[in-house]
Amino acid sequence: MGPDTRPMRLEDLCAGAMVASRGCNTGPSNNESHHRSSNAVIGWPQIGETEIETEVLRRARARHRGRFLKGPIPLRQIAAANRLPGQALALFLAVHHQTALTKKTIVTLPRGLLTDFGISPGAKARGLQWLEGAGLIRVERSRGRAARVELITVPR
């Protein structure tokens, strides 16, 4: 008679098992458990995984695709910010971006956003002064807090 070809059952695997003493570690090594699924049993069908795309997942993927600038931004304001010294134009565009992103009229400018625009903390402080002087933004400053910036909208 040939070798047993019937599928193995969980009962067959556990039939000869004995209770381990406290001093022995009979569990699988880390290497073995890494390569074998913890819920896999010989002869049992494997269940695949399917990722369901949710709104949260869609938004997370959109964030990872990169930043974009939402308009419209009046060309007159862009031209005015461009005539200012330093990185005033980049800062003005960063304020527009943050306003569109948060959908708030008054925003703070996160360090990561300013880094993406290549604006240092010193350039931010100078740029806010220049933009405020040109009448493009309003800035609310408080000691120990981030500057709160509001775009001054131009009537159409």
Tell me phi and psi for residue 137, to 5 degrees. Answer: -140, 165
What whole-number distance in Å separates Cα of residue 109 and Cα of residue 112?
8
Taking 60 as the threshold, does the pLDDT of residue 31 lie above it? no
Taking 70 as the threshold, does the pLDDT of residue 33 lie above it? no
| Higher pLDDT, residue 60 or 117 | 117
| 34 domain-assigned | no
Q: What is the pLDDT of residues 34-70, one digit of tens each?
A: 445 555 667 777 778 887 888 888 877 776 667 778 8
Tell me phi and psi for residue 76, to 5 degrees. Answer: -60, -40
| 83 domain-assigned | yes
| 26 domain-assigned | no
pTM above 0.75, yes or no: no
Segments forming the whole domain that contains residue 87: 75-151
What whole-number distance in Å separates Cα of residue 98 and Cα of residue 96?
6
What pLDDT does residue 154 have? 67
What CATH number does the domain containing 92 carry? 1.10.10.10
Mean pLDDT over the full length of the chain: 80
Q: 39-62 b/e with 16+ CB inside 10 Å = b?
A: eeeeeeeeeeeeeeeeeeeeeeee
Average pLDDT over residues 104-121: 94
Question: For residues 43 and 8, is the Cβ–Cβ distance under 8 A?
Answer: yes
How many domains does the chain contain in total?
1
